[in-house]
Amino acid sequence: MEQMPAFEYLSIEKNEGAFIITLDRPEARNAINSAMWAELCDAFELFDDDEAKVAILTNTGKVFCAGADLKEYNEKTLHPPKGRETWGTGAMTRKLWKKPIILAANGKVVGGGAEMLLAADLAILTEDGMVAFPEAKSGLFPGNGGAPLRIGRSIHLKHAMELLLTGAPIDAATAVQWGLANRAVPEEELMDAALSLAKAIMANGPYALSLIKQAVYDSMDKSFLAESDGWRMMDMYQELAANSEDAAEGTTAFREKRAPQWKGR
């Protein structure tokens, strides 16, 4: 396990090739104050520059994240200043990172934490967990992480409206059933499940992974396009992948029955 730079409210480490970011402010239910806001930004920038192919975002304590720290209600925590939209939860939710991100949430996933759930490419919850978007209960709009923008990509409109308009929580089993998470596991199996998923992803070509991720999100953003335009987009990504060094290495390694040596290009 490789140690990484130290932070006050979160930790980062490398484990079996995965870049693990752990929210570590359990005494405040991992609510995001201004200092933690800046640290999240730094952590995701480190992941972007690191050779790791996959990030796992997890937590200490029984609450993944309670959202913005309402005890520090100010512009820094709830409404980032112009040009700083990618601070805090926005570090994850307002950028489309090239590499896959797995959310492994222990316990409650609330507010800004739930927006990080929406932004993750894959998500695993604990069986005793829950998901809630309670902003409306405080007269707030769930906008920094773009919940109204993103939630329709994951679940049915009626379910989305119920979550956002009532602010009521749903349990982990319902979150999986509705499509907000891939699976729910016992607490003691959470990190093993996340690392297993990460390993399955990391075995594949990193350049192809980045293209696949980009293409999936592009197809959602451009769902109004005619089918012919959609196919042109698929052809473009396929050509980029086919002409990459990773594609050449991957096919050669398959023929030679060996593990590929990826270059990420």
The residues that are catalytic are 115, 135
Dihedral (C-alpha) 220, 221, 226, 231: value to the nearest 10 degrees? -60
Question: Would strands 18-23 and 10-15 be described as parallel, antiparallel, or unpaired?
Answer: antiparallel
In Å, how far are 44, 54, 99, 167 from 49, measured between CA atoms? 9, 12, 11, 36
Spatial contact of 122 and 197, defined as CB atoms under 8 Å apart: yes
Spatial contact of 44 and 97, defined as CB atoms under 8 Å apart: yes
Tokens 């993944």 correspond to what residue? 64
Least Cα distance to 14 among 200, 190, 187, 202 occurs for: 202
**Residue 142 CB contacts under 8 Å (≥ 6 apart), including other chains:** 111, 115, 133, 135, 136, 148, 164
* Burial state string for 152-186 with b = 16 or more CB within 10 A and e = fewer than 16: eebbeeebbebbbeebebbebeebbebebbbebbe
Q: CA triplet 118, 127, 90: central angle to 5 degrees?
A: 20
Give dist(CA 134, CA 68) in Å, integer. Answer: 11
User: What is the DSSP secondary-structure string of 222-247?
Assistant: TTTS-HHHHHHHHHHHHHHHHTSHHH
Spatial contact of 65 and 111, defined as CB atoms under 8 Å apart: yes
